[in-house]
Copies of this chain bind each other. A is one copy, B any other.
Amino acid sequence: MARGAKKIPAKLAKRAKQIQVLLMDVDGTLARGVWLLSRPDGTAVELKAFDPHDGQGLTLARTAGLRTGLITGRESPAVTRRAREMNMEFVYQKQVHKTACYEEILQKAGVTDAAVAYVGDDLPDIPLLKRVGLAVAVGDAAAEVKRIAHFVTKARGGEGAIREAVELILKSQGKWEGMIDKARAAPY
């Protein structure tokens, strides 16, 4: 649900009500762009840009009892740190195919597809988006991804899309208003 938007369509709210696990892609979804910093020794390290509103949303999601996680093809200490800051439970980096991790997460969490939301932006996300109970595409996702999503965020990936997904779920579950007072300052 975009910030300020008031009504969630009944069909979408029904899907969102059942969500217990919120998973997401990283590059183009939770993070904006792929940044590489050259080092004097001729190698390059990765820089990631995250959104504070996404961070606040993910922390509130945890407080509200949602379980969260990420599945990404790349790997970097920056993502590891951000996942830890957000208190994420399922962190799968360096994954070529996302379905295997997804199955593992289902098993660990003890839930079925209907209880999972997944946020993605590009073609490798399609297999998961076709299975989960709530498929979310970021605002600048590939056309093929938007076409199969139940919900497309207003924000672009890495710029608040995750926050919209969190608000959609918590508002549908009637938990958002209660969360506002529980928001803490650190370390989003």
Residues of A within 8 A of B (CB): 3-4, 25, 27-28, 32-40, 42-53, 55-56, 60, 71-78, 80-82, 94-98, 121-124, 126, 140, 142-144, 146, 157, 160, 179-180, 183-188
B36–A185 contact, CB under 8 A? no
B39–A52 contact, CB under 8 A? no
A73 to B56, CA, bound (A): 11
Q: Given that A44-B78, A56-B123 are known contacts, is A94 also in contact with B34, CB under 8 Å in the complex? A: no
A114 to B157, CA, bound (A): 37
**How distant is A93 from chain B, measured CB to nearest CB, in Å?**
9
A76–B27 contact, CB under 8 A? no
Across the interface, A35 reaches (CB within 8 A) one of B50, B73, B75, B140, namely: B50
A121 to B56, CA, bound (A): 11
A71 to B75, CA, bound (A): 27
B78–A143 contact, CB under 8 A? no
B124–A183 contact, CB under 8 A? yes
**A28 contacts across to B, CB distance below 8 A:** 51-53
**A43 contacts across to B, CB distance below 8 A:** 40, 77, 81
**A48 contacts across to B, CB distance below 8 A:** 35-38
B94–A186 contact, CB under 8 A? yes
Closest 8 CB pairs of A and B: A73-B186, A123-B183, A73-B185, A36-B78, A28-B52, A4-B143, A27-B52, A124-B185
Nearest B residue (CB) for A163? B142
Nearest B residue (CB) for A48? B36
A74–B44 contact, CB under 8 A? no
**How distant is A8 from chain B, measured CB to nearest CB, in Å?**
14
Known: A3-B143, A56-B124. 8 other contacts (CB 8 A): A35-B47, A43-B77, A43-B81, A44-B78, A44-B82, A47-B47, A52-B157, A56-B122
